[in-house]
């Protein structure tokens, strides 16, 4: 019995050493794969509008990505969704002027304000306004690390009423192949990774 127990301990230690070696030798590939798991971008097709959801983490990266799609004629309208911020401001107070300055005419701009505190709440908040505006298909723009969770929530809420495809905007602090190299990258990854898994359980 003692010999059997000793062999098991040796096998267990060898297995731990192999796992440690694999993590050290292939840590970049493993961490990159984890970062890429957050990304869920769809193939672009033409839609009625591009919808930018709130939660910018940079200098209007989501809005700029949406305007680019508009100028490339993937969509005919730009919809900006803005949650209420501190001191009575809405994120669209800044998104709107940026879109206008980048060349989107007022007639093609739709601004939606709300008090949603989560992506799921935001999907429910914007759906009635999109339907009222006669929008029947959208390209949803959000930060690259947020695409998987945003797509899940918006498709769950919109169902077959408005088709949703997702397009990721570049993020200042998150790149799937290097997110672990900065404090901000680590923060964004672990927060979004946790929220993404939580979305499966809700």
Cβ proximity of 167 and 173 under 8 Å: no
Cα 36 from chain centroid? 12
Between CA 111 and CA 92 the distance in angstroms is 7
Query: Does 40-201 carry CATH code 3.40.50.620?
Result: yes
168 pLDDT above the threshold of 80: yes
pLDDT at residue number 30: 82
Give the residue-averaged pLDDT of 25-44: 84
The region that residue 15 occupies, defined by phi over 0 for left and psi between -120 and 50 for alpha, beta otherwise, is: alpha
Q: Which helix (H) or strand (E) holds 3?
A: helix 2-25
Question: What confidence tier does 12 reach under pLDDT thresholds 50, 70, 90?
Answer: low
* Dihedral angle over CA of 121, 104, 40, 183, nearest 10: -80
pLDDT at residue number 17: 52
Between CA 133 and CA 153 the distance in angstroms is 21
In terms of Cα–Cα distance, which of 98, 101, 53, 50 is closest to 74?
A: 50
For the segment 45-103, what is each residue's pLDDT rounded down to a tens digit?
999 999 999 988 778 999 999 999 999 999 999 999 999 988 889 999 999 999 999 99
Helix 183-201 vs helix 27-37: angle between axes, to the nearest 10 degrees? 50
For the entire predicted model, the pTM comes to 0.84
Please indicate whether residue 1 or residue 180 has the higher confidence score (pLDDT).
Answer: 180
Question: What confidence tier does 23 reach under pLDDT thresholds 50, 70, 90?
Answer: very low
Give the residue-averaged pLDDT of 37-44: 92
Question: What confidence tier does 176 reach under pLDDT thresholds 50, 70, 90?
Answer: confident
């Amino acid at each position: 019995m003692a010999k059997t127990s000793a062999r098991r301990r040796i096998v267990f230690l060898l297995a731990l050493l192999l796992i440690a070696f694999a993590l050290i030798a292939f840590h970049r590939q493993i961490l990159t794969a984890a970062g890429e798991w957050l990304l869920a971008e769809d193939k672009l097709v033409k839609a009625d509008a591009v919808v930018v959801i709130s939660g910018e983490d940079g200098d209007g990266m989501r809005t700029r990505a949406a305007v680019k799609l508009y100028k490339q004629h993937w969509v005919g309208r730009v919809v900006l969704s803005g949650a209420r911020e501190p001191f009575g401001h809405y994120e669209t107070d800044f998104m709107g002027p940026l879109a206008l300055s980048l060349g989107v005419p007022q007639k093609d701009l739709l601004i939606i304000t709300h008090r949603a505190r989560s992506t799921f709440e935001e999907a429910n908040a914007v759906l009635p306004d999109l339907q009222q505006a006669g929008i029947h298909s959208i390209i949803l723009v959000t930060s690259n690390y947020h695409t998987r969770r945003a797509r899940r929530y918006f498709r769950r809420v919109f169902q077959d009423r408005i088709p949703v495809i997702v397009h990721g905007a570049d993020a200042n602090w998150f790149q799937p192949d290097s997110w672990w190299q900065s404090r901000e990258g680590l923060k964004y990854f672990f927060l979004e990774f946790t929220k993404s898994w939580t979305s499966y359980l809700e």
